[in-house]
Amino acid sequence: MKQSDHILELARQQRLLRAADVRQHGWSSQLLSRLHQAGKLQRFARGLYGLPETEITEHQTLMEVCQRVPKAVVCLLSALQFHEVGTQLPHDVWIALPEATHTPTMGYPTLRITRLRGSAYSEGIQTVTDHGAPIRVYSIAKTVTDCFKFRNKIGLDVALEALKDAWRSRKVTMAELRHFAKINRVERVMQPYLEAVTQ
């Protein structure tokens, strides 16, 4: 098997390929451009390739963002949509990055970036593999408490809807909500709402 055949096989398994994925196997990353020019690979974004017949999934954009911005974690409205909590349909992709990370430049999709530090960034990350490409996204309980933390940015109504929907559909426990509320320092803000949903 030639290197290009190996690369196409990897594209079948992984859906999205970066130059780093190809180099990791000891193959030339220049073959990605050649395979693209030959019509055997499709270029989704700079440095991101897949097979031409790759079916675009609902989470394609999130996969691309997580591939191109290694420290990005899908958060807030995008995480709510990913977990099917509430009714938000964001136009932008909401991501969290550690505080000191440089701001990524991407033409598409538009990113809404929140900066988090310490355990507010690192806790509650789930890695979901969709067709071989990982998506880093905050858990439902972490996302709900993030909505309260950033209520001035997204609206208290969105945070309340997320809490009620996640609780009603039994996607979160009170222990999880209290745990992440403490990490996000929104225990006092959330307390009356947590009491209201449990009555």
Residue 55 domain flag: no
Please check whether residues 99 and 192 belong to one and the same domain. Answer: yes
Summarised one tens digit per residue, pLDDT across range 154-189 is 999 999 999 999 999 999 999 999 999 999 999 999
pTM for the model stands at: 0.76
Please check whether residues 39 and 128 belong to one and the same domain. Answer: no
Q: Average of pLDDT values for 111-133?
A: 90
Q: Average of pLDDT values for 191-199?
A: 93
pLDDT for 10 equals: 86
Share of the chain above pLDDT 70, in %: 94
Please check whether residues 43 and 126 belong to one and the same domain. Answer: no
Distance CA 175, CA 68 (A): 34
Asked if pLDDT for residue 122 goes beyond 90, the answer is yes
Please check whether residues 38 and 74 belong to one and the same domain. Answer: no
Please check whether residues 137 and 186 belong to one and the same domain. Answer: yes
pLDDT for 120 equals: 97
Please check whether residues 66 and 99 belong to one and the same domain. Answer: yes
Q: Which of 149, 126, 152, 147 is nearest to 137 (CA)?
A: 126
Q: Average of pLDDT values for 131-153?
A: 93
Look-up of token digits 């969709």: 130
Counted domains in the chain: 2
Better-scored residue on pLDDT, 32 or 73: 73
Asked if pLDDT for residue 28 goes beyond 90, the answer is no
pLDDT for 114 equals: 96
Please check whether residues 105 and 41 belong to one and the same domain. Answer: no
Of the pLDDT bands very low, low, confident and very high (cuts 50, 70, 90), residue 112 is very high
From 1-5, 71-75, 107-111, 145-149, the region with the lowest mean pLDDT: 107-111
185 backbone φψ class: left, alpha, beta (φ>0; ψ -120 to 50):
left
Distance CA 133, CA 150 (A): 29
Please check whether residues 24 and 71 belong to one and the same domain. Answer: no
Q: Which of 40, 115, 45, 106 is nearest to 73 (CA)?
A: 115
Asked if pLDDT for residue 86 goes beyond 80, the answer is yes
Q: Which domain holds residue 25?
A: 3-50
Please check whether residues 44 and 79 belong to one and the same domain. Answer: no
Contacts of 86 (CB under 8 A, 6+ apart): 80, 158, 161, 162, 165
